[in-house]
Structure formats: C-alpha cells, structure tokens
Amino acid sequence: MNKFEHYRKGERGSAAVKFFFIVIVLMTVAHAAYNYVPVAYSAENLRTEMHTAVVQGLALPGKMSPVDNVKSRIQQSVKRHGAPPNTLVDVKQKGNVIMAHVVYNQQVTLLPFGLYNYNYRFDYTATPTGFLADSAP
C-alpha cells in the first residue's frame, strides 16, 4: 500500500483547496443575491402599485383631479419602497387615459467590499389596460 501512495503523491491534498474555492464562489453569489433581490422586489412592487394607481385614478370619482390623485399615490409608493430621493415621477393625462412614468437609478453592491456596484435602472410607464383603455379616443 505504501508503494501505491508513493507513486500518486501529487494527487493528494487538492480537495481542501477546491472546497475553499467553491465556498468562496457560493458566498459571493449569496452576497450578490442578498443585495440584489430586495431592490428588484421593491421595484416590482412599485410597478404593480403604479398600475393599480393608474387604473383606480380613472375609476374613482371625486373632486380631486385624477392626475393629482394618481401622482400623490405614486409618490407615496415611491417613498414606501425605498426609491432614491431623486426619483422622477411624471403623470400625464392623454384623452381619457392617465399615464404614469417613473425613473430612478439605484446602486446595488454585488461584490463584497464595494468591488463591483451594479446600477439598477427602473424605468416604467404605467397605462391602464382592459376596458378602461378601450374608451380612449
């Protein structure tokens, strides 16, 4: 048995190094996901709330103008979902349709120690769909 181990001396000891590199890669991926997923989730929630605000802005009666109503609801959603303070919110009425446009950039640290920052860009225009959009001229 000693003779066999003597001839294959170069094959021993590499498992610990491979395990270390795999653990480093898994930790890096977990760190990136831990930082990216909440930002993407908040952006998707904001997108859903924008669409809801646009649809309800057309359907709700009241003395307040639909554009102001939709704009205030979207600004509240922007604050609630942690968008940066320089977020651009633009709400316009075109005929019977209200369109809301929100744009912002947010830095997401993907690699530890700030080695790589991803610039997450949110740019979405919400317009009503379905029977409310069919009534537009």
Query: What's the half-sphere exposure (Cβ side, CA atoms, 13 Å) at 134?
Result: 2
List, in sequence order, every beta strand (DSSP E) within 30-115. Answer: 88-94, 97-111
d(CA 100, CA 90): 6
Helix (H, G, I), strand (E, B) or coil at 69: helix
- CB-CB contact of 47 with 124 (8 Å): yes
Output the pLDDT for position 10.
Answer: 62
Residues 6 or more apart whose Cβ sits within 8 Å of residue 90: 100, 101, 102
The answer for residues whose C-beta is within 8 angstroms of residue 35's C-beta and 6 or more apart is 108, 109, 110
Q: pLDDT 10s per residue in the chain (137 long)?
A: 455 556 666 666 678 888 999 999 999 999 999 999 999 999 999 999 999 999 888 777 767 788 999 999 999 999 999 999 999 999 999 888 899 999 999 999 999 998 999 999 999 999 987 665 555 44
